[in-house]
């Protein structure tokens, strides 16, 4: 069984599809229950409502999931692109709650089921923002760094237990990521990906499916995946 958070759209939805195609029974979690149910039906999986910022919601989500082979921590995102000098505290709170504490809550709750499976895998979708800092991005880069460190710490703490850990750190992927970051401003979101060839959610899901189908002794620790047109968070074919 594979569990995917943030499975209603983007990388999460594409990953749920890819893991189902690889033969997994997939449990899809997201706040938008109609969307996860529709996708679950399409791929023969199970949709369940999940708000990773809410302890009770996480508890209800994991109830009855006793043996989990794969957990994909995908729920998260960015809000705003502001310099530290004018940082919006609510945006920061949202980013830390979803990316960092959300990953912590779900991972903690499913850890016993992952160990009990005898061959567990935790895939956490961070970002190149978990590795680099960039101007106006501190709310997001700090949250992604923290999420990355949480995940990498577990790699040490679980040594000797039958659980693998893979961090996937994508660069530009065309999903509704920028639409959320810019609060629904479609023009501004589109401009991010115009003039270059970004990754698609399927490109990333393909790699996650590869990771999940390696034999149990093979641990892909960290995978950075960017479009050819992007060399770093701050440099792409448009910026030069």
Q: Given the complex with ligand 8X3, which of 81 and 158 has the nearer CB atom?
A: 81
Distances (CA, A) of 206 to 121, 180, 183: 16, 24, 28
**Dihedral in degrees, nearest 10, Cα atoms 137, 107, 53, 182:** 30
Distance between the two ends of the chain, CA-based, in angstroms?
44
Q: Is position 140 annotated as part of the catalytic site?
A: yes
Q: How many CA atoms lie within 13 A of 180 on its CB side?
A: 15
Q: Is residue 127 at the binding interface for ligand 8X3, with CB under 6 A as the rule?
A: yes
Q: Choose which of 70, 110, 122, 129 interacts with ligand 8X3 (CB under 6 A).
A: 129
Q: Given the complex with ligand 8X3, which of 68 and 172 has the nearer CB atom?
A: 172
- 146-165 residues in contact with ligand 8X3 (CB under 6 A) are none
Detail the DSSP E strand segments found in the chain.
Answer: 2-5, 26-30, 46-49, 70-73, 120-125, 163-170, 222-225
Q: Quote the CA–CA distance of 152 and 219 in Å, as a whole number.
A: 13
- The interface region with ligand 8X3, picked from 5-13, 59-67, 101-109, 126-134 by CB under 6 A, is 126-134
Q: Is residue 128 at the binding interface for ligand 8X3, with CB under 6 A as the rule?
A: yes
* Binding track, positions 167-206, relative to ligand 8X3; x by CB under 6 A: ----xx----------------------------------
Could you list the residues that contact ligand 8X3 (CB under 6 A)?
127-129, 171-172, 233
Residues catalogued as catalytic: 140
């Amino acid at each position: 069984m594979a569990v995917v958070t943030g499975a209603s759209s983007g990388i999460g939805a594409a990953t749920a599809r890819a893991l189902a195609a690889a033969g997994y029974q997939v449990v899809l979690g997201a706040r938008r229950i109609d969307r996860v149910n529709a996708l679950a039906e399409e791929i023969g999986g199970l949709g369940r409502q999940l708000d990773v910022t809410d302890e009770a919601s996480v508890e209800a989500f994991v109830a009855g999931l006793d043996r989990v082979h794969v957990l994909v921590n995908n729920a998260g995102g960015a809000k705003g692109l502001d310099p530290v000098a004018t940082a919006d505290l609510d945006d920061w709170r949202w980013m830390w709650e979803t990316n960092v504490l959300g990953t912590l809550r779900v991972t903690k709750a499913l850890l016993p089921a992952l160990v009990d499976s005898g061959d567990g895998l935790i895939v956490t979708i961070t970002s190149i923002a978990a590795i680099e800092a960039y101007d106006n991005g501190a709310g997001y880069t700090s949250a992604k760094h923290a999420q990355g460190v949480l995940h990498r710490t577990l790699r040490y703490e679980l040594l000797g237990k039958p659980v693998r850990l893979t961090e996937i750190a994508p660069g530009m992927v065309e999903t509704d990521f920028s639409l959320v970051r810019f609060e629904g401003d479609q023009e501004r979101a589109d401009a991010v990906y115009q003039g270059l060839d970004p990754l698609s959610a399927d490109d990333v899901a393909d790699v996650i499916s590869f990771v999940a189908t390696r034999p149990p002794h093979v641990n892909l620790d960290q995978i950075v995946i960017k479009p050819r047109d992007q060399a770093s968070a701050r440099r792409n074919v448009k910026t030069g």
